[in-house]
Structure 1
């Protein structure tokens, strides 16, 4: 934390106050300049009367606000995206502050609750920055323009003779200066200029963007202040736990509810019927008490008769046997077919076959799932406090599950103790609402760590059966990937109005035909076979990419080795000399080959690739990946002892995420965190399924990376390019695992084809 951090913090609204009353209080009296951004991106004055009217200035602006400037010059900015540790509560307000021309020390940031006027409020897929960056620039610039106009009118001079600087407007000719606070009343009655009347700053003049700024909540996090969902306290609040069937997809038949209700502190215990939606309100048993401790203590005495359902037949050993059988049978779905793979393999100078496997894993966020809910017994309206990544989806799931109009569901967004995609799901929110409806009191539902690990929406496991071939010149001529994945059976409406069921692969568990190197290989066959299961699956950091990068770039390295080629040279040759590759790309964005070539060449230069001689047991590996709009290449250097102990000595990361780094401190933190999380995920997490149950229960049997095992050096390099700004939470993660595994091969000659790495014997002699 830097020395200014205590000056950078915002005072958020009390958790127990309503969004509407807070915004009314903060904008009351005409002492604030309020500008809002509609969901369609248009800039507007959000006032109850006509923009520019004295009546509007004298009362308040509409609550759909992002900027509020008080008469003391303090600027309050609303952060609309959920903060899950990615730093968005700091970085996006920085964009507004830059264009507004205000000192960061004069800025206060508050968390906005769910409000349709804010537009999209989800935090996932590294979308928060790219979807808001341009609009937030325009928002800040519009406010600055109005302040300049207000000063010019006050002085009776042309606005062109005035300029904004560090929270004030200056008139050079007369040496006059008015602080923003002094201009609030005059600016508040001005009409909002249209886009043509607003000039954005030249990036060369930025004072704030690209600098290192500490997180606005850093001091509160360190001091243990109540910021997170698990910290929420309400008057008269009860505490609940929710027990689900150990077998995924099962449901309760009966329970010793009378005995549980008789226990000290217990207020109620009951069965919740739930739904068949694996990602919604699952059936279970709720215990409500006067404290979390009493609820958990009662839970230990709970005896439930379960209907385990079809999921009881699931086991990882069974899935593996099914996958191996499926790889040899016809009937796979073709995701891409180019050329003639069989003929190309038959004519190849060298061929390689390999099977890659990875398990189901949990998100294991530090803060277990929780939600506080209040249901009004009079009108059924709901008020929620939740650490969610997707508040709109949470509201929608509550509305559809309980048949409540969305406008009667108010959701306060708390800070989240980690997300990684888990909090894009909203099951814990509907759990809390179901319990609050029954007990008719404020209820905080808290999952235990065991609940979190065993009833997660997991990252899907997978099996890849690969074949590849290179010609006599060492060029890739054939690529075949038969992917055996996992899918849930879901109901869907058919075109004729009837209802049917389909197998839907889990999030990130479907193979795109556009993934590298599919579009670059003349003879390519990508196939997919789904295995039906009752295991709930959901987005997991960099969905799909987090495992596909490991599979693809590990196997590419195998082919490069078979061809006797340098791994970077081999990849550059596959990429080719085109600037773009046609295809739908990720989210409809074409693959920019030139950008990927540049990061790959840059990482070779920054890591001194090929210029260093490694001793036996040491080596370097490379990988790249295009993920969530970001182009990233990484080189990992490792040391493996003869006994097989791994140490990652150095990781060099080069990213192209567009024209501007918003917060350099946050960007470096995202790179370092992705590398560490990527290494942790490579090395340890694995969930075993036996008789439909997740075997692991807590960190004693589901370990994560410890501080002594983190890479010794992590170097982050950013290429500044003339492309739209992207996010960073996802793109750096995928290349880490293959880069490390390729480095292990360079050091020991051993290939890692099964995750986690802790299962592998890396010893050598």
Structure 2
């Protein structure tokens, strides 16, 4: 768990500098260890930073709480403050949430990996408890009583003997003069006394979202700014041979045409090679861009075709690979088996397709740059822009807007770097606007993949041997330009931590070079691994003549905690200590039992209907999904979905429910229709008409169940996605007898 290493009073001037918000009262700063991302691409080089997080109490008793994470609908601007306010004993109606700027002092601000709560829960409680304690000390001085004679409640410190009250605002100035006590001396509320944590509090941004009074990156306006639309190379590595700007410059409102700097490898988050049209408004920029005449040298990646590449992966995946985890002799046991089963599963390239495409606005001076961006990683923006402009990170100010969806796309900083480059070249504030077509054709992509599974069964239908293989281009290639297959980090996402108990096991990987920009997407490699494992267990169940539920319970065995490192796997465990977050097979069984019981998935269905189930551990949480579908005349209709999660202690059940519902929709979009094709190195799809997401008429009734737990907080935003594909495809088989092993479903049936 994250621990506070240093807590101190912070000057109001420092608070203003750190947050951009003026405080008139008591300000508390806190130091928290850095939270390492799944990919350590944005390290600052320091293990600890001062003034990570702040709480400020004004004289009117308003409590300003900084949220250093990015809000994209998941509710983190509510969840983080809930934790602080609970231990502070604040009146929630008096809490004001302030968005933190990019600052290394906060530790990791990367809002991805489903880790915002789990990495900062302990530190947030400590900060709230420290502020409360200092206010209690101040009150005890005013009344000349011991600190044991006072307590905090709803923005007041109350005298236990007399019942007198002093407001937080009244005490703020005195509290600011008090030396903070040791962290070891802090006391915390018992969970049974929680009044804010665990409550379904509406998100703080809800009124503005409902009224449309919110500020997204596309809403930013800076006096004197111009607009940029960029024609980018359709193939990664493609270079400009020639540009004819004549027609573009004749479009009314177009100011200039600028060639972007040449992209180097590795691609990381650098802008793609391209030509920017600068104009007085977005429409003129788009019209001018269409008038450009560009001749490209598309380079080596123009030979990449996704169909041929997937066929190559599928052909190779049935051969022996490099083992990353093993026990016993899987190949000998497979040879000795009475019966063997084998299946290959594939998932195509996928793109994020959030409702709001990327956008960033930049102002650049000789010694300063200010950015407004819909970013999940403000410090990453700060670092990338500083490196691009030759500035120090402290000279780059990053303002975080609300995000109209993210799913991992907005953890990449290329669009912010584009804005900074163009602002410097034009000498004007520049807003870079990505269109939907830009986002689909020039983004970062979930890796295309192939998985192969084999099982050997004895004369009693017991699984005695298990071989599984995975192949996909690695996200690490984006950062080093060399890696040509799955990394241990990626294989830790639902593959190397596969929970099936079997005496003879071999988990293997195959090489797969990258040809387009690979980037994390919601639940990352758990997508393909959850689909393959959940489908294969269903196929084993059919072979055994048992329910999938019973087969899962049987295959999970009687082990309580799974130790995959003992079988040679370099398991990453989402960068958390395995002692704190073990692979608990009992929790997998429990969420599976919950969802089957609640959904009645083991009951017989009507003709042409079927239930499918699956279960998966990801981001330290356990999720099971049961789906009911109907298939008539080769048309699939998903009727209802049920999902259960064990995510440890839950801060805001309303947001957990919302995240699960969103995960079902996101997972269904991938399962039914998600596919990016690459032909001659370029992405074929361009918008929602050919990369569709789930429509309202396709959306089923969704039921969610949250397992109550006092365990450490785990992830919520991503874990709901992985079991969806297997659950739906298993249901389709039950409904019509067609086994779908290659996503998406609409390649096989009408959706």
**TM above 0.5, one fold?**
yes
Kept in 2, the 8 Å contact 1:622–1:635? The answer is yes
Partner of 2:28: 35
Match of 1:231 among 211, 214, 219: 219
**Distance in 2 between the 1:652 and 1:103 partners?**
35
Deviation of residue 516 (structure 1)?
4.9
- 1:299 paired with 2:282, answer no
Query: Structure 2 matches for 1:68-79, cutoff 5 A?
Result: 68-79=56-67
**Distance in 1 between the 2:15 and 2:412 partners?**
23
Kept in 2, the 8 Å contact 1:311–1:533? The answer is no
**Distance in 1 between the 2:140 and 2:385 partners?**
50
Deviation of residue 73 (structure 1)?
1.4
After TM superposition, the score normalised by the length of structure 2 is: 0.90
Structure 2 CA distance for partners of 1:519 and 1:606, relative to 1, 3 Å? closer
Partner of 2:738: 750
Residues paired across the two proteins, number: 711
**Distance in 2 between the 1:286 and 1:162 partners?**
63
Secondary structure of 1:681 counterpart: helix
**Distance in 1 between the 2:532 and 2:495 partners?**
15
Kept in 2, the 8 Å contact 1:469–1:559? The answer is no
Kept in 2, the 8 Å contact 1:249–1:535? The answer is no
- 1:319 paired with 2:309, answer yes
**Distance in 2 between the 1:25 and 1:132 partners?**
22
Deviation of residue 506 (structure 1)?
8.6
Partner of 2:503: 522
Query: Structure 2 matches for 1:172-187, cutoff 5 A?
Result: 172-187=160-175
Deviation of residue 249 (structure 1)?
2.7
Structure 2 CA distance for partners of 1:744 and 1:23, relative to 1, 3 Å? closer
**Distance in 2 between the 1:23 and 1:743 partners?**
50
**Distance in 2 between the 1:96 and 1:293 partners?**
45
Moved more, 284-293 or 247-256: 247-256
Partner of 1:601: 593
Match of 2:650 among 629, 649, 661: 661
Secondary structure of 1:39 counterpart: strand
Deviation of residue 119 (structure 1)?
1.7
Partner of 1:676: 665
Query: Structure 2 matches for 1:276-295, cutoff 5 A?
Result: 276=264, 277-279=266-268, 280-295=270-285
**Distance in 1 between the 2:478 and 2:743 partners?**
33
**Distance in 2 between the 1:291 and 1:272 partners?**
20
Deviation of residue 609 (structure 1)?
4.2
**Distance in 2 between the 1:609 and 1:315 partners?**
40
Deviation of residue 300 (structure 1)?
1.0
Deviation of residue 264 (structure 1)?
1.9
Query: Structure 2 matches for 1:468-487, cutoff 5 A?
Result: 468-487=455-474
Deviation of residue 466 (structure 1)?
2.6
Match of 2:22 among 26, 37, 45: 26
Deviation of residue 449 (structure 1)?
0.7
Structure 2 CA distance for partners of 1:439 and 1:620, relative to 1, 3 Å? same
Partner of 1:363: 352
Runs of 4+ in 1 over 4 A off after TM superposition: 18-25, 62-65, 487-493, 504-514
Secondary structure of 2:344 counterpart: strand
Partner of 1:569: 550
Match of 2:330 among 338, 341, 345: 341
Q: Alpha-carbon deviations, 1:696-726, whole Å to 9, x = none?
A: 11111111101121112x2222222342011
Structure 2 CA distance for partners of 1:705 and 1:19, relative to 1, 3 Å? farther
Query: Structure 2 matches for 1:83-232, cutoff 5 A?
Result: 83-232=71-220
Q: Aligned Cα RMSD in Å?
A: 2.5
Match of 1:534 among 491, 499, 515: 515
Q: Alpha-carbon deviations, 1:225-261, whole Å to 9, x = none?
A: 2421111111111111111112233121211124423
Structure 2 CA distance for partners of 1:23 and 1:92, relative to 1, 3 Å? closer
Deviation of residue 741 (structure 1)?
1.3
Partner of 1:411: 398
Kept in 2, the 8 Å contact 1:336–1:513? The answer is no
Kept in 2, the 8 Å contact 1:618–1:747? The answer is yes
Structure 2 CA distance for partners of 1:335 and 1:706, relative to 1, 3 Å? same
Secondary structure of 2:624 counterpart: strand
Unpaired stretches in structure 2, ≥5 consecutive residues:
1-13, 36-49, 566-570
Query: Structure 2 matches for 1:43-54, cutoff 5 A?
Result: none
Unpaired stretches in structure 1, ≥5 consecutive residues:
1-17, 43-61, 494-499
Kept in 1, the 8 Å contact 2:30–2:51? The answer is no
Deviation of residue 534 (structure 1)?
2.1
Kept in 2, the 8 Å contact 1:560–1:570? The answer is yes
Kept in 1, the 8 Å contact 2:485–2:510? The answer is no
Kept in 2, the 8 Å contact 1:618–1:746? The answer is yes
